[in-house]
Amino acid sequence: MSVELLNFIETVINGLMSGIMYSLVALGFVLIFKASGVFNFAQGVFALFAALTLVGFQTGQVPFSHLINELFGTNFHNWYPSLHSFFAIILTIITMIVLAWLIEKLVLKHLVNQEPIILFMATIGLAFVLEGVGDLMWGSDVKVLDVGIPSGGSEWLEKTTIGWASEGSEYYGMYIDVLNVWATIIAVILVTALALFSQYTKTGRALRAVADDHQAALSVGISLRSIWVLVWAISGFIAMVAGIMWGTESGVQFSLSLIALKALPVLILGGFTSIPGAIIGGLLIGLGEKLAEIYIGGLLDIGAIENWFAYFMALVFLLFRPQGLFGDKIIERV
Amino acid sequence: MIYKETGQFKSTYESDHSIFPLIQDKIAFNILMLVAFLVVPFFIDSYWEKAILIPFLIYSMAAIGLNILTGYCGQVSLGTGGFMAVGAFATYKIMTFFPDLNIMIIVLLSGVITAFVGILFGLPSLRIKGFYLAVATLASQFFIIWLFNKVPWFYNYSDTGQITVSERTMFGVAVTGANAPPYATYLFCLILVVVLGFAAKNMIRSKIGRSWMAIRDMDIAAEIIGVPPLKTKLSAFAISSFYIGIAGSLYFAVYLGALEVTESFDIMAISFPVLFMIIIGGLGSMLGSFLGAAFIVLLPIFLKNVMVDLIGLSAVTAKHFEITIWGLLMVVFLILEPHGLARLWSIAKEKLRKWPFPY
A281: Cα within 13 Å, side-chain hemisphere: 37
Residues 6+ apart with CB under 8 A from B271: B78, B79, B80, B81, B82, B141
CA B230 to centroid of chain Cα atoms: 25
Are A308 and B143 within 8 A, CB to CB? yes
How many domains are contained in chain B?
Answer: 1
* B207 contact A CB<8A: no
- Rounded to a whole number of angstroms, the distance from the CA of A261 to the nearest CA of chain B is 9
- Per-residue model confidence as pLDDT tens digits over B227-260: 998 899 999 999 999 999 999 999 988 888 888 8
- The angle formed by the CA atoms of residues B269, B272 and B277, to the nearest 5 degrees, is 105
Q: Is B123's Cβ below 8 Å from some Cβ in A?
A: no
* pLDDT above 70 (res A1): no
Q: Is residue A102 over pLDDT 70?
A: yes
- Give the residue from B317, B322, B339 with the most A CB atoms within 10 Å of its CB, the best one to mutate: B317
Residue of A110 and A307 predicted with greater confidence = A110
ipTM over 0.85: no
Which pLDDT band, with edges at 50, 70 and 90, does A124 fall under? Answer: confident
Distance, CA of A254 to CA of A130 (rounded, Å): 11
Secondary structure class of A142 (helix, strand, coil) = coil
Looking at the predicted structure, is the pLDDT value of residue B289 above 80? yes
Nearest C-alpha in B relative to A111 = B335
Separation between Cα atoms, residue A23 and residue A187, nearest integer Å: 8
Q: Which residues of B touch A334 (CB under 8 A)?
A: 218, 220-221, 224
Which string of DSSP letters, residue by residue, matches A249-278? HH-BSGGGGGHHHHHHHHHHHH-TT-HHHH
Does a structural domain hold residue B259? yes
Selected residues 168-187 of chain B with any CB under 8 Å from a CB in chain A: none
Give pLDDT, residue B58: 93
Mean pLDDT, to the nearest integer, of A178-190? 84
At residue B293, the pLDDT reads: 92
| pTM, rounded to two decimals | 0.87
pLDDT tens per residue across span B2-15: 777 777 788 888 88
Residue B246 lies in a domain: yes
Note the pLDDT tens digit of each residue in A284-322.
888 888 888 777 766 666 666 777 788 888 888 888 887
Lowest-confidence region among A323-327, B247-251, B286-290, B347-351: A323-327
Report the range out of A94-108, A207-221, B294-308 with the highest average pLDDT: A94-108
CB-nearest to A332 from B150, B220, B316 is B220
Kindly state the percentage of chain A with pLDDT values over 70. Answer: 88
Highest mean pLDDT among A236-250, B186-200, B306-320: B186-200
- Determine the pLDDT at residue A334: 65
Q: Are A43 and A260 contacting, i.e. CB atoms less than 8 angstroms apart?
A: yes
pLDDT at B224 over 80: yes
For chain B, what is the HEC assignment?
CCCCCCCCCCCCHHHHCCCCCCHHHHHHHHHHHHHHHHHHHHHCCHHHHHHHHHHHHHHHHHHHHHHHHHHHCCCCCCCHHHHHHHHHHHHHHHHHHCCCCCHHHHHHHHHHHHHHHHHHHHHHHHCCCHHHHHHHHHHHHHHHHHHHHHCHHHHCCCCCCCEECCCCEECCEECCCCCCCHHHHHHHHHHHHHHHHHHHHHHHHCHHHHHHHHHHHCHHHHHHCCCCHHHHHHHHHHHHHHHHHHHHHHHHHHHHCEECHHHHCCHHHHHHHHHHHHHHHCCCCHHHHHHHHHHHHHHHHHHHHHHHHHHCCCHHHHHHHHHHHHHHHHHHHHHHCCCHHHHHHHHHHHHHHHCCCCC
Identify the pLDDT of residue A8.
81
Confidence label for B195 from pLDDT (cuts 50, 70 and 90): very high
Distance from CA of A268 to the nearest CA of B (A): 6
At B336, is the pLDDT very low, low, confident or very high (cuts 50, 70, 90)?
A: confident
B338–chain A Cβ distance below 8 A for any pair: yes
The phi, psi pair for B164, rounded to 5°, reads -125, 140
Contact list in A for residue B320 (CB cut-off 8 A) is 132, 135-136, 140
Residue B254 neighbours by CB under 8 Å, 6+ apart: B54, B58, B175, B176, B180, B185, B188, B189
For residue B168, give Cα distances in angstroms to B164, B180, B186: 12, 9, 15
Q: Rounded CA gap, A320 and B18, in Å?
A: 46
pLDDT grade for A199, boundaries at 50, 70 and 90? confident
Average pLDDT, integer, range B52-81 = 90
Angle at B291 between CA B288 and CA B293, to 5 degrees: 105
Q: Determine the Cα–Cα distance for residues B84 and B78; give it in Å rounded to an integer.
A: 12
* Mean pLDDT (chain A, rounded): 80
Residue B272 sits at the chain A interface (C-beta within 8 Å): yes
Q: Are B199 and B64 within 8 A, CB to CB?
A: no
CB–CB of A116 and B131 under 8 A? yes
Query: By the CB < 8 Å criterion, does B337 face chain A?
Result: no
| Chain centroid to CA A150 | 19
| Residue B282, pLDDT score | 85
Question: Does residue B317 lie in a domain region?
Answer: no
The pLDDT value recorded for residue A300 is: 67
Say which residue, B178 or A26, is predicted with more confidence: A26
Amino acid identity for residue A244 in this structure: I
Is residue B54 in some structural domain?
yes
pLDDT, residue B284, reads 85
Residue B14 lies in a domain: no
Q: Are B324 and A128 within 8 A, CB to CB?
A: yes
Q: Domain span at residue B103? A: 45-266
The ranges assigned to domains in chain A are 7-320
pLDDT for residue B301: 85
